[in-house]
Structure 1
Amino acid sequence: MFQNPRTQFYTTHVRQELAFGPENLGRDPQEICARIDEVAAELGIADLLESRVTQLSGGQMQRVACAVAMCNNTSLIVFDEPTANLSADVIDQLATLIARLKADGHTIIIAEHRLSFLSGIADRVYCFDKGNIALTATGEEFYATSDEERKQLGLRSLVPVPMPQLPEPAEDGLEISNLTFAYRHGNTVLNINHVLFPAGKITALLGPCGSGKSTLARIVCGLEKAKHASITLGGQKFTSRDAYLVMQDPTRQLFSDTVIDEVTLGTTKAEKQHIDAHAILAELDLAEHESDHPQALSGGQRQRLVIATALAANKKVYIFDEPTSGVGYKHLVAISRVMRKLADTGAVVIVITHDAELVTEVADH
């Protein structure tokens, strides 16, 4: 299963996608249908079976990609960042399913940065660092690692992190009132009476997969148009030109031939003179990749590169959509510092996330 599930979908509807692999393996149609229903029930996607793949949220795509791997029912299953964009309850479902597959005799390889859900499941752990194996341990040894040791290794928390309780915002900032939105021929996706994202603060936007978080971000940035909405910034009418969105899928925002050129893409010659692209890349641990093609980077590196472009953009509103999917502890902290730096300029910073570690690290509201 790829880190970016969008790249491994080949059909138009979810049920077709789940059947695609088994059909190509020549399996019996009745067996395929039964397996699809079984896996869909286990992963909680039965209500998505007749949906179009292009209408799914990032988290829903991730669950469907997991289901595709399950439906193929091969002896070896490889998961690449399977928990990216997933909420805690869905991660628990995934952990239960992986444990069941293991008990059924499947060989399972999981490349991950979010680690707590594999406690009691992983039998052997390899920790990579720049292409080398920095640590080899049994699952029991690894999950006995102290907090200080795991931070030195650049690893995320080995125990579940609860979502913190934070105060509701009360300052001036980006205010959205009387907003309704529905995709064409679809049900209402958003119906918001009032919401405030304060300037100079970082606000976490939470909710289940498919609940409309990314849709709200797209409306603020002008990529979708609400049927009704009043959006103001500091009491003045808001224009989407003042907003910058870091999308869930960073591949869709990278256009230059080199990493260093990507940072200042779209800025004027005068603006470039005030942007230290080298320092920005160094801050996000990308300095050694300045001459690389952006699409040659790993998923986590591409994520950080788009965040670097946000840092150079000089906007009044920044929205980060799942910015820590595919990153370890060190880079989670680096991304948090970038968000804080932007908020300290007086900008509105919104982070859409399921990542309790990130919310604990950086969110004000």
Structure 2
Amino acid sequence: MLSIPRGQCVVLCGASGCGKTTYSRVVNGLAPQFFHGAFAGSQHTCGLDPATTPIDQLTPLVGSVFQNPKTQYFNANVTDELAFPAENMGLPADEIDRRVNAVAERFGVTGLLGRSIFHLSGGQKQRIAMAAACMLDPRLVVLDEPTSNLDQAAIADMRVLIEAMKARGLTIVIAEHRLAWLNGVADRYVVFDGGRIARQYEADEFLALSPGCIAAMGLRALDLEPYRRRIAELETRSGAQRGLSPNSGGRTTPGSSRFGDATSSGMRNPEPLLSTRNLVIGYRGRDGFTRHIPDLEFHAGDIIGLMGHNGCGKTTLVRTLTGLAKPISGSVALNGRTAKPRDLTRTGFLVMQDVNYQLFSDSVRDELTIGLDETDPAVSAQANLVLEDLDLSRFADRHPMSLSGGQKQRVAIGSALMCGKDLIILDEPTSGLDRYHMEQVGELLRGLAAQGKTILVVTHDEELAAGWCTRIVNLERTFAA
């Protein structure tokens, strides 16, 4: 039994698939009215039964922010998006204008009014989604993984927003894997397991739990300072390596989940698989931008973490390195020779941040073997091994689009494992993943590096970066320098 008093901030946590998102959908009325399935027991939200109350009666009372804010936008323009909830409820035009201006000021997005949503950073998109969710002055706000794609600065902004919402008397329910940013904000933690509430903790009781106890429940770290210190070491190491021959003392070895250095399988190939020279990336247009990239080298066996704030050019860089975008100037070399975009595309595999763009098949197994000979016993055996390694065997015959966000992410990673290419780039591979699956991804990266693959990971996940990357390139600090 769970009871949430008015004005509390309650965190729903637990391993992926434990029921957090499903319960959040029950709270806001999306289940069982839109997401159908077996439903037993009772739930009351703001005194109403979501199972029988028409959704239009719940809409003014409950605001919702989904894990991927793109899935809840109805307009391409920020102003129109903020106005949409009020328009949908038939409010007068002058009242809509008043609310848009008031909410924009409260959430600090006045400068974004009139802009295209498609040209906003991840943090800005999330802020717009939260502002739109509060347009009708709800009593309760439900957030599902609100920080999954945000950088450290944007997460700090999210914390400020949550504190301001609490100060206004809003009740807040957050389903979240990243827990450290909620220290001092959350009033209570509810741990789910197997679709049921396993434990409930007051905030001070939960924060007093040992790291081992937190890990045993499959939860992410409550203190990120040790990880940040490790990342700083890896950044320093990467900076010292720039321009050095791999045999001149700059070689690194695969990282350890305990921040040690594992044994390398041998010296790194002195010739980098991929390198950049005087590279300038970006795109043109009203909201275009350009970035000068320091000369970089990526060697076989490297696991390079590419970090920096939202909008600093990480995704544009990896699109350039895989031939999906042309550089504005400068060059990318492959095995020491200037490469054309098609050469880079043949060499690299990119797992996108939004994996919905690259899932094409009718089953998970078919997705892993797309473009391969499924009748080849070796291909089938490899697919079975990848399914097992990624904890996807029980979903082999499921349609990929029917899976959760974290499960889809693992399917896309599985495709990367099956492709056999030398360069594998992953854009936020642990977005929406719990501790177990985050560590699982880290071990898979280490295994690929041991096979001589070059791994580039775009990530805001400090736990992944500290535990498994051999080098860190922080574009934000590089530009500042």
Number of the residue aligned with 2:40: none
In structure 1, distance between residues paired with 2:368 and 2:204:
42
**Does 2:89 match 1:38?**
no
Number of the residue aligned with 1:117: 181
- Runs of 4 or more, structure 1, over 6 Å off, are none
In structure 2, distance between residues paired with 1:127 and 1:260:
32
SS in 2 for 1:99: helix
CA contact (8 A) 2:77 2:114 kept: yes
1:287 equivalent among 393, 396, 400: 393
**Does 2:154 match 1:54?**
no
Amino acid aligned to 1:180: V
Number of the residue aligned with 2:34: none
CA contact (8 A) 2:224 2:463 kept: no
Distance 1:31 1:50, change over 3 A: closer
Range with bigger deviation, 298-307 or 223-232: 223-232
In structure 1, distance between residues paired with 2:361 and 2:462:
33
In structure 2, distance between residues paired with 1:286 and 1:73:
41
Number of the residue aligned with 2:41: none
In structure 1, distance between residues paired with 2:442 and 2:277:
28
CA contact (8 A) 1:205 1:352 kept: yes
In structure 2, distance between residues paired with 1:251 and 1:315:
21
Distance 1:273 1:152, change over 3 A: same
1:185 equivalent among 282, 285, 297: 285
Number of the residue aligned with 1:253: 358
The CA deviation at 1:194 is: 1.6
Matches within 5 A, 1:198-213: 198-213=299-314
The CA deviation at 1:59 is: 4.2
SS in 2 for 1:273: helix
SS in 1 for 2:292: strand
Number of the residue aligned with 2:419: 313
Unaligned 5+ residue runs, structure 2?
A: 1-64, 247-271, 472-481
2:171 equivalent among 107, 128, 146: 107
CA contact (8 A) 1:174 1:198 kept: yes
CA contact (8 A) 2:107 2:127 kept: no
In structure 2, distance between residues paired with 1:112 and 1:272:
41
CA contact (8 A) 2:100 2:135 kept: no
The CA deviation at 1:48 is: 3.7
Please identify the structure whose Cα radius of gyration is greater.
2
The CA deviation at 1:276 is: 1.6
SS in 2 for 1:194: coil
The CA deviation at 1:116 is: 0.9
In structure 2, distance between residues paired with 1:333 and 1:192:
30
In structure 2, distance between residues paired with 1:185 and 1:124:
46
Amino acid aligned to 1:78: V
Amino acid aligned to 2:369: T
CA contact (8 A) 1:126 1:137 kept: yes
Distance 1:363 1:113, change over 3 A: same
The CA deviation at 1:272 is: 6.9
2:465 equivalent among 354, 359, 363: 359
Matches within 5 A, 1:189-338: 189-238=290-339, 239=343, 240-269=345-374, 273-274=378-379, 276-338=382-444
**Does 2:446 match 1:340?**
yes
The CA deviation at 1:72 is: 4.2
CA contact (8 A) 2:305 2:458 kept: yes
- TM-score calculated relative to the size of structure 1: 0.92
The CA deviation at 1:159 is: 2.0
In structure 2, distance between residues paired with 1:94 and 1:207:
17
Residues 293-326 of structure 1, C-alpha deviations (whole Å, 9 max, x = no match): 1111111111111111111111111111111110
CA contact (8 A) 1:150 1:156 kept: yes
Residues 33-79 of structure 1, C-alpha deviations (whole Å, 9 max, x = no match): 322431342xxx55443432222344443333233224443111110
CA contact (8 A) 2:123 2:154 kept: no
Number of the residue aligned with 1:92: 156
Amino acid aligned to 2:385: A
In structure 2, distance between residues paired with 1:17 and 1:116:
31
Distance 1:223 1:252, change over 3 A: same
CA contact (8 A) 1:15 1:36 kept: no
In structure 2, distance between residues paired with 1:188 and 1:119:
36
SS in 1 for 2:407: helix
In structure 2, distance between residues paired with 1:196 and 1:325:
26
Distance 1:183 1:119, change over 3 A: same
The Cα RMSD (Å) is 2.1
The CA deviation at 1:193 is: 4.5
SS in 2 for 1:101: helix
Unaligned 5+ residue runs, structure 1?
A: none
The CA deviation at 1:133 is: 2.2
The CA deviation at 1:282 is: 1.6
In structure 1, distance between residues paired with 2:164 and 2:125:
22
CA contact (8 A) 1:39 1:70 kept: no
| Number of residue pairs aligned between Structure 1 and Structure 2 | 362
Distance 1:39 1:310, change over 3 A: farther
Number of the residue aligned with 2:138: 74
Aligned residues with identical type, % of pairs = 40
In structure 2, distance between residues paired with 1:271 and 1:73:
59
Distance 1:24 1:280, change over 3 A: same
The CA deviation at 1:224 is: 1.6
Range with bigger deviation, 125-134 or 292-301: 125-134
CA contact (8 A) 2:281 2:293 kept: no
Range with bigger deviation, 164-173 or 78-87: 164-173
In structure 2, distance between residues paired with 1:68 and 1:189:
31
In structure 1, distance between residues paired with 2:348 and 2:163:
43
Amino acid aligned to 1:192: I
